[in-house]
Structure formats: C-alpha cells, structure tokens
Amino acid sequence: MGGIGEKVNTYDVYLIKPKISDKDEMENFKNEFLANNENSMPGSSDFVNFDDYKKWLKHTRAYEKSSTVPVEGHVPATTYLLKRKTDKKILGILQIRHSLNDFLKQFGGNFGGSIRPTERNKGYSAKMINLGLKKAKSLGLNRILITCLSTNFSSAKSIEKAGGKFEGMAYLKEKDVYVKRYWFE
C-alpha cells in the first residue's frame, strides 16, 4: 500500500457489521484518529467515548430497531465497517440512519461516516458510499440524503463522485457552519 493520496483498488473492499472479533482492529482504528488529533469519528456511534468494545457493540446493535434505540430523539441506524479483503483492515465506518428526524433532514442526512486518516484520499469514501447505498436499499430506503461541512472538500468530492446531486446549503447556527446537502435517488 502506498501513502496518503495514492489511489488503490477500491474493489477490494466490503461493508460488514462490526463483530466481537473486530475489537483489536477497532481499537487501532480509534487510536489512529486520536493520534491525528481527531476526537470524533463520524458514523461510529460515539466509539471514541467507549472504553469497553462489547458495550459499544451492544450500543450499535440497540440502534438497529426503533424499539431499542438507546437515545431519545435518535433514529434507528445500522453501523457497518469498511474492510479491505486482502488484510481485513478496517478502512472506514458508516452509519446508515433508517429515517430522518428534523435535525437529520436539515443537517445530518442518512449517512454518517469516516475513513481512517492514513487511508484518506484514496477513493475509499466514494466506494463506501456506493456500498452503503446498496445496504440502504436492502433496508428499504430509496431516497438518501448525505451532507458534509461546506469546508470539507474531500467529502464533497467523494459524494459527487458517488453520484450525489447537490441540492444546496443549510446553516447550522449552533455550530456556525454551513453544510452541503446531496441527494441520491
């Protein structure tokens, strides 16, 4: 594998729900974000704040059904890991939200995700979106909203590469930021 920015074979990846056997690799994934001075991992169901992998795994599974969503006001969601076939390395994480509440309709969208710092700008994000769209369809979702910060040019490029149609911008007053909104039909 090459360095950051080098294009790689993105067909060598797949999405899978996290399992107990992913514990060590998930810890490596988290540590890479923290070492890169990133204290959040979008799409990870708050993994950076869990010290116990089994509790986090149980937390993500609880989100899969509306009757067990652990946080009031949140929507059901399924979490997937983007893994490389050759070495089973976790390259990214994707949360697919099964529906949209008022906040998600404006700012969050159906997908939340991130790629580990050393694997960014290699085409994995667009591939993760495309694989996620297939998973979303199997969950009964036909219209998908994906958003990104207006300053996140890499994410915007990945969303556009995956086929997202730009709708416009929304202003999130609480954080004083604009988000770009993209739709997939």
Task: Tell me the per-residue pLDDT of 14-57, one tens digit each, with 9 for 90 and over.
Answer: 999 999 999 999 999 999 999 999 999 999 999 999 999 999 99
Q: What is the pTM of this model?
A: 0.91
**Distances in whole angstroms, Cα of residue 185 to Cα of each of 36, 84, 115, 140:** 35, 27, 24, 12
Task: Tell me the per-residue pLDDT of 94-116, one tens digit each, with 9 for 90 and over.
Answer: 999 999 999 999 899 999 999 99
For 10-141, CATH number out of 3.30.420.40, 3.40.630.30, 2.40.50.140, 3.10.20.90 equals: 3.40.630.30
Cα separation, 124 vs 74, in Å, equals 27
Count CA within 13 A, CB hemisphere, residue 113: 36
Residues in contact with 148: Cβ distance below 8 Å, sequence separation at least 6, in sequence order: 155, 156, 159, 179, 180, 182
In the chain, domain spans? 10-141
Which pLDDT value is given to residue 1?
Answer: 32
Task: Tell me the per-residue pLDDT of 152-184, one tens digit each, with 9 for 90 and over.
Answer: 999 999 999 999 999 999 999 988 999 999 999
Task: Tell me the per-residue pLDDT of 63-78, one tens digit each, with 9 for 90 and over.
Answer: 999 999 999 999 999 9
Sort strands 111-115 and 177-184 into parallel, antiparallel or unpaired.
unpaired
